[in-house]
Amino acid sequence: MKSPRLLRHVQARALMEIGRRADLEPGSPPVGKCPDYDFSAIHRFSAKGATLQTVPPYQKELKRAEQRWRDTQDFVRWPICFSKAKDFVRIKREAFAPVRRWIDQVALCVAAEVQRDYREFRIERGLLTYDDQIALALELTKHPKIGAKFGKNLFVSFSTKPRHRSTTVFAFCSN
C-alpha cells in the first residue's frame, strides 16, 4: 500500500469499494507525505448571529479531532461542518485543501492498485468478468502491433455485447 497514513483519513472499506466499482487508471502518487494541517484560521473565526449555532460546536469537535490526530495513530474522522456562512466555509475549505488533495491522490492510487490486484486474482483463477474481458481487450488495443492490426475488429466484436454501457466500453470505443 502506498501510504499507511492514508488509513488515518479514509476507511479501508471505502478504498476497497472504490477499487471494486470504479474504472481507474493507475495514477502517480503524490510526492511526499501527508501535508501538515493548519486550522488556526478556523479556530480564529469569530462566530456572530446565526453562525453561533454551528461554528463553535464545529470548532470544539475539530479541536478534539486534532488532539486525536496528534496523540494516536488511529483513523480520524474530521467533523462535519453544518455552517453555511460563506466566510467560514471559505476558510474551512482553504484550511483542508492541501490535506484533501493529498487524500484524493493517494486514495485513487491505492484504489487503482486494489482494482488491478483483484483483477489479477480473478484472472489467475479463471474467474473473468465481462468487465475484465473488456479491460483486457482495451489493453490489447494499446499494444503497438496488436492495436493497429485488430483494433477495429475488436471494436465491432465488443460493441455488440448487451452490457455496452459501462465506462470501460465507452473508453474502448473512443480509442
- pLDDT one digit per residue (tens) for the chain, 175 residues: 445 566 667 777 777 777 666 666 666 666 677 888 899 999 999 999 999 999 999 999 999 999 998 899 888 888 999 999 999 999 999 999 998 888 888 888 888 888 888 888 888 998 888 877 877 877 777 788 877 776 556 554 555 445 544 444 445 454 4
Q: Which three cell numbers stand for residue 64?
A: 478534539
**Contact criterion met (CB below 8 Å) for 39 and 66:** yes
Model pLDDT, residue 7: 66
pLDDT in tens, 166-175: 444 445 454 4
Model pLDDT, residue 101: 87
pLDDT in tens, 69-109: 889 988 888 899 999 999 999 999 999 999 888 888 888 88
**Contact criterion met (CB below 8 Å) for 75 and 11:** yes
d(CA 81, CA 86): 12
Q: Which three cell numbers stand for residue 132?
A: 475484465
Model pLDDT, residue 136: 80
Model pLDDT, residue 1: 44
What's the predicted TM-score (pTM) here?
0.62
If we measure between CA atoms, which residue out of 85, 66, 88, 90 comes closest to residue 77? 66
Residue 113 carries which side chain, given as an amino acid letter?
E
